[in-house]
Amino acid sequence: MLAKDLLGQDDVFTTPKTDILDALYMMLKYRRRILPVLSNSKFAGLVTVASYVKVIPTLELKKPETILVEEIMQEQPFIAAPNTDAKHVVDSLCGKGVYGVPVVSGYSYQGIIRREEVIAKFLHLLKGRFKSQDVMSFNLGICSIHDTLESLIKRLSSGLERRIVVMNDDKIEGTITFEDMINLILADKSDLSRLSVASVLVPIHATVRRIDDASKAANLMHEWGINAVPVVDDGRLEGIIRDKDILQRIHSLI
């Protein structure tokens, strides 16, 4: 299988001269963690959630609507040709912060291969092969619902943690991701000092057990438009399955 066989129908993109708030709104509207940047139909770069880290230190001096996509985009990401082997593409998608691989022929942009599309394409390979406990990650950030929002912003903005599970004693209340925090900082007009962790967390829509088939977690990600599912047994948080964990297993099977 080749890269061109993994391309879906996706025409969502931005341009170098678009301001970053418009790009952010597009990412939120279409539930994208990555946007290709096109200039005169030619591939120019990528904007990811991580791209916005560059903006945070400058917000006291510049308004986000005055900052252009070309100032934060990645100009030289990994690019696949249409005939690149699919396994090589999946290997790249397993990398930190790589949410999609652009497919370019010459200077002509062909499309982008995103993590969720690859998981959907190869989901059948997972069924019956792995349990949740074989796939889940134990390295997850945890905070209390009583922590300050400021402390979470600092943790997420450091880039070391991308998702934090919010606990109320032993109960899972929800999660806060790097994406949620970027949206809050750049687009929300509320006074951040007046907001609490409880007011901005995203409730948990779905969980799996350790003994569940790993394909169940992948299906839940697709159903809810999320990229991670907590593993919970007897009310206890055991770990988390990320789309990256699923991709790593797919990589071993193709």
- Nearest alpha-carbon partner for 41 in 100, 107, 106: 107
Model confidence pLDDT, tens digit, residues 133-145: 999 988 778 999 9
What distance lies between CA 48 and its chain's CA centroid?
8
Identify whether residues 167 and 239 lie together within a single domain: yes
Q: What is the pLDDT of residue 76?
A: 75
- Residue 189 resides in a domain: yes
Among 78, 3, 2, smallest CA distance to 36 is for 78
- How many other CB atoms are found less than 10 A from the CB of residue 161? 18
Nearest to 238 by CA among 152, 145, 170: 170
Write out pLDDT tens, residues 2-48: 999 998 777 899 999 999 999 988 988 888 889 999 998 899 999 98
Which pLDDT does position 189 carry in this prediction?
A: 55
Q: If you count them, how many residues does the chain have?
A: 254
Task: Give the residue-averaged pLDDT of 174-200.
Answer: 78
Per-residue model confidence (pLDDT) at position 113: 94
The answer to whether residues 132 and 216 touch, using CB atoms and an 8 Å cutoff, is: yes
Same domain, 171 and 247: yes
In a domain, 212, yes or no: yes
The answer to whether residue 215 scores a pLDDT higher than 70 is: yes
Model confidence at 191, pLDDT cuts 50, 70, 90, reads low
One domain, residues 249 and 136: yes
Domain total of the chain: 2
Domain annotation covers residue 13: yes
CA distance 198 to 81: 45
Rounded to the nearest angstrom, the gap between the alpha carbon of residue 43 and the centroid of all alpha carbons in its chain is 21
Is 127 a member of any domain? no
Confidence band of 239 (pLDDT split at 50, 70, 90): very high
- pLDDT (tens digit per residue) in 219-231: 999 888 888 899 9
Question: Are both 72 and 181 inside the same structural domain?
Answer: no
Select the highest-mean-pLDDT range: 95-99, 160-164, 175-179, 239-243. 239-243
Q: Is 91 domain-assigned?
A: yes
pLDDT for position 3:
93
Tell whether 93 and 140 lie within a shared domain. no
Distance from C-alpha of 152 to C-alpha of 195, rounded to nearest angstrom:
12
DSSP string spanning 47-107? EEGGGGGGTGGGTTTS-GGGSBGGGT-BSS---B-TTSBHHHHHHHHTSTT--EEEEEETT
* Domain boundary, last residue among 122, 147, 178: 122
pLDDT tens-digit readout, 42-52:
999 999 888 88
Q: Mean pLDDT of all residues in the chain?
A: 88
Same domain, 101 and 136: no
Residues 48 and 157 in one domain: no
Q: Are residues 83 and 171 in the same domain?
A: no
Structural domain ending residue among the three candidates 122, 152, 187? 122
**Tokens 């001269």 -> residue:** 17
Same domain, 16 and 84: yes
**Structure confidence at residue 217 (pLDDT):** 95
> Given a cut of 70, is residue 190 above it in pLDDT?
no
Average pLDDT over residues 147-160: 81
Residue 20: predicted pLDDT: 93
Give the range of the structural domain holding residue 165, as residue numbers without chain letter.
132-253
CATH of the domain at 196: 3.10.580.10
pLDDT of residue 188: 65
Question: pLDDT value at position 80?
Answer: 94
